[in-house]
Structure 1
Amino acid sequence: MGQPWFECKELAEEHGILALSSNYALYADMSNRVMSILSDYSPRHEVYSIDECFVDLTGMPRLRDVSYAMRDRVIKWTGIPVCVGIGPTKTLAKLANHVAKKHPRSKGVFNYNDLTENQKVRLLSKLDVSEVWGVGRRLSARLAEHGINTVQDLRVAHTSTLRAEFGVVMEKTQRELQGVSCIDFQEITPNKKQIVSSRSFGQMVKDVAVVKDAMSTFVANACVKLRAQGSHASLIQVSLHTNRFRRDLPQYNPCFTLPLPQPTNDSLVVNRWADYLVERLFKPEYEYKKAGIMLGEISPVGQYQSDWLEPAQATDTKLMEALDGLNKKFGRGTVKVSTQGAHKGWQMRQERKSPSYTTDWESVPRI
């Protein structure tokens, strides 16, 4: 669980701890570089998150040597240390990766396949069940009520009872721990069913115009992702949040979900609805720290149920195509709606932002 910076700032400065603000463009670029390196080792790979990737090495000899070579190349080409976990299933591979991180003797690589059955039992008996992929704090507490406290307990639990109490997903997790692959590779990233864009403000906001400005940016970011996957949305949700860490201030966290008359991916249309919802939710007596938008009921463009009470869906996409093309060529935010970027008060301060070494010519190190 993260801790707000203002709560530990003095302690960090006292011990000389270096704290950096988020630099998402840098993180994304470095992640893409790492994933590109990993893709050289197998045609089958799945980018699971910004810092995780599954690589299918089935049939490849000398897995440990290959893993060390993979790790060495990543750190040599990017400077980023990585760990490699090897297992017969995705769940066991993630557990092996956890062991590789925590135990120095592994030197960053751990192969679960090399263990004998007795070694597997000893290892899994030492690992808390919360270390299993998909088992969080609440689920761990429920499992503990059934006497399941370690990974080994889950591995050997009564399958029928497990399914009856926790569902088919938990049964699949158990079978994965037993070495039976139940979670397939997703080599092609599926289209998102929901798209969320939100951000904490750099300072407390009390002006509705500033909130609308921030919401326009969130709408633009969400709609770009929507158009990139060739989809449109039929539902919009807007939320506002006060600072939950400021107990001395009144709290207000409204959220409103609205079905759209017609599915759309047009930034101008979505922005008008978001603007309307902000007007409805905003109360001037509160200070806001965060806002966000969620687009839902997403479907491929061209697939929608028409409504005879509404005019036909607009099919002219030239404006949005031109907007996306210009922003892709000259940089994000080059062309934007008129309500976007007029106010700076909500934007993150990023006083400790690390340089954009790989995404900005002005930040490239000079030798």
Structure 2
Amino acid sequence: MLRTDSETYEPLLRQVELGDVWGVGRRLVERLALMDVHSAWDLAQADPKQIRQRFSVTLERTCLELKGIPCIEMNDPGEARQRIMTSRSFGKMTDSREEVHQAIRQFAQRSAEKLRGQDSLARAVYVFLKTNRHRPDLPQYSPSAVVELPCPTDDSRDILLAASQAFAAIYRPRYRFMKAGVMLVDLVDANRAQLSLLDTPESQAQRERSDRLMATLDALNHRMGRGTVTFGRASPKAAWQLRCANRTPRWTTRWDELPQLR
């Protein structure tokens, strides 16, 4: 990390062209040139308040960072997340209860997989649905619900059950949904989870069987590809599936997409 009081600080910033600074594009370079700002050093010497007024808060933060004032949080990739969410906008709106329920189940399984990946347990499951707010001609309904789990867990079956209960509580017919999501909240470290005073040897044995089952499930999906083994199979043509109309052919991983010579 370069310190602002080091001898190399000013010479190095003078050598860095403004277009090489992260977040400064070609148009910004042209506009900043009118203010006689041509290098990273010039931007570091500029007035942050003036930069914010004339451009944006993002460029103001860049200016402050060049001055040595931290404004952008650095996230540790190894740090466990406090919440895990899986959500997606549908390929098209749907009012089919079965299709929306399929989406919730798929999102719950994916969230549980992420949960196990960071060695955490969840205490509750949050589920939400959304209609298309850009369609004022359609009735709007964006509900959500939280279901607490009996005990902290990373078992996909328990999470699926809670997600289904939340979905049943908030789903209403005659609404066309455009987005849904599942969030695992109130996470705890799996190695530090507090056990219940009501635990029995049978409870411990059941947890061990659950851990072995989930480990086998994750190992198979890692080796054979995500979604190889799931709890229930979703319809590939369901409305909630992404359309992917402009996706590049997957020649190296899909037999049915290999190029054909005629």
TM-score, scaled relative to structure 2: 0.75
SS in 2 for 1:252: coil
Contact conserved, 1:241 with 1:290, CA < 8 A, in 2? yes
SS in 1 for 2:24: helix
The answer to whether structure 1 residue 132 and structure 2 residue 57 are counterparts is: yes
Identify unmatched segments of 5+ residues in structure 2. Answer: 33-37
**Residue 115 (structure 1) aligned to one of 42, 54, 61:** 42
CA shift, 1:237, in A, is 0.4
CA shift, 1:204, in A, is 2.1
The answer to whether structure 1 residue 268 and structure 2 residue 195 are counterparts is: no
- The alignment's C-alpha RMSD in Å is 3.9
Structure 1 pair 268/339, CA: closer, same or farther in 2 (3 Å)?
farther
**Residue 242 (structure 1) aligned to one of 125, 128, 131:** 131
CA shift, 1:214, in A, is 0.7
Identify unmatched segments of 5+ residues in structure 1. Answer: 1-55, 69-82, 86-96, 134-149, 156-172
Q: In 2, distance between residues paired with 1:98 and 1:124?
A: 18
CA shift, 1:318, in A, is 1.4
Q: In 1, distance between residues paired with 2:89 and 2:72?
A: 35
Match of 2:170 in 1: 281
Q: In 2, distance between residues paired with 1:65 and 1:364?
A: 51
Q: In 2, distance between residues paired with 1:310 and 1:287?
A: 44
Structure 1 pair 301/352, CA: closer, same or farther in 2 (3 Å)?
same
Contact conserved, 2:131 with 2:179, CA < 8 A, in 1? yes
TM-score, scaled relative to structure 1: 0.55
Q: In 1, distance between residues paired with 2:185 and 2:249?
A: 35
Q: In 2, distance between residues paired with 1:116 and 1:344?
A: 51
What is the CA deviation profile of residues 127-185 of structure 1, one whole-angstrom value per residue up to 9, with x for unaligned ones? 4387334xxxxxxxxxxxxxxxx94xxx9xxxxxxxxxxxxxxxxx9975753347675
Aligned-pair identity (%):
30
What is the CA deviation profile of residues 50-77 of structure 1, one whole-angstrom value per residue up to 9, with x for unaligned ones? xxxxxx5678898579979xxxxxxxxx
What is the CA deviation profile of residues 268-310 of structure 1, one whole-angstrom value per residue up to 9, with x for unaligned ones? 1111111121111111122211111110111111322333457
The answer to whether structure 1 residue 322 and structure 2 residue 247 are counterparts is: no
Q: In 1, distance between residues paired with 2:43 and 2:20?
A: 20
Match of 2:121 in 1: 232
**Residue 230 (structure 2) aligned to one of 325, 328, 336:** 336
Structure 1 pair 268/111, CA: closer, same or farther in 2 (3 Å)?
farther
Larger RCO, structures 1/2 (Cα 8 Å, 6+ apart): 2
Show the 5 A alignment for 1:1-367. 56=1, 84-85=20-21, 97-104=22-29, 112=40, 114-115=41-42, 119-121=45-47, 125-128=50-53, 131-133=56-58, 151=60, 179-181=68-70, 185-308=74-197, 312=203, 314-316=207-209, 317-338=211-232, 340-341=234-235, 344-356=238-250, 360=253
SS in 2 for 1:244: coil
Corresponding pairs, count: 243
Q: In 1, distance between residues paired with 2:237 and 2:208?
A: 32
Contact conserved, 2:122 with 2:185, CA < 8 A, in 1? yes
CA shift, 1:199, in A, is 1.0
Match of 2:35 in 1: none
Q: In 2, distance between residues paired with 1:315 and 1:67?
A: 57
